[in-house]
Amino acid sequence: MIVTLVVLCEVGFWVLLVAGLALRYLARLPRAGAAVLLLEPLLELVLLVVTVIDLRNGAQADWKHGLAAVYIGFTVAYGHYTIRWADGQFAYRFAGGPKPPGAGYGRARAVHEWKLWLRTVVAAAVAAALLQAAVRYVGDGDTASLRMWQAGVARIVGIHGLIALTYTIWPKQPKQPKRGERAQEADGSGGVTGERPRTLTKP
C-alpha cells in the first residue's frame, strides 16, 4: 500500500500542478489556481500519516517505508522549485510572459548547480531525519532496510556534489555557431549571400 500511495502522490503532484496553472493562466482564475497549488503539501502529509499508522499497526519496517521517507524529503526540497519552474514555463507559453532564463554558462551555471546540490542536501537531511525517527520508533526490530536508505541518500548527496564540481572545474560554454552559420550572420542574408533580407514591413 505504501508504494501505491507514493505513486499516487507523485501523480497527484503533477495533476494538481497542471490544474492549478491552467486555472491561473488559461481560465484567468488566479485565486482558484493558487488554492489548488496550496493543496500540494497535503499529499506529503497524507503519505507521512499513513506511513506512521502502518508502522504503529505492527508492520515490519522495510524498504517501502524508507521509500516514503525519501520521497517526502525530496518533495520538501524540490517541490516549490518545481512549481516555480513550471509556473514560469506556463506563463511564457500560454500567457505572454517573459521567457524563463536558462541555467546559463560558466560561473553562473556552476552556481546554479551548487544551489541544486544544496537542495539535495536538504532533501537528504529531511529523509535521514524521518528514517532515524522510524528507526527509534521500531526500537529493537529490524531496521536494516531503513539504515540502507540513510546510506543511499548520503551517496546521492556525494554523487550530486561531484556533478556540481565538474561544472566548477570544467565550466560549460555556449555552443559555437558552425562555419556556415557564421557566414550567414556576417552577411545578414539568412543563407543567400548578396540578397537583402526580407521583412514584413518593407517589400
pTM: 0.83
**pLDDT, tens digit, 9 for 90 and up, residues 165-188:** 999 999 988 887 666 555 454 555
Burial of 173 (0-12, 13-18, 19+ CB in 10 A): exposed
Q: What is the pLDDT of residues 48-101, one digit of tens each?
A: 999 989 888 888 888 999 999 999 999 999 999 999 999 999 999 998 899 998
Cell representation of residue 1: 500500500
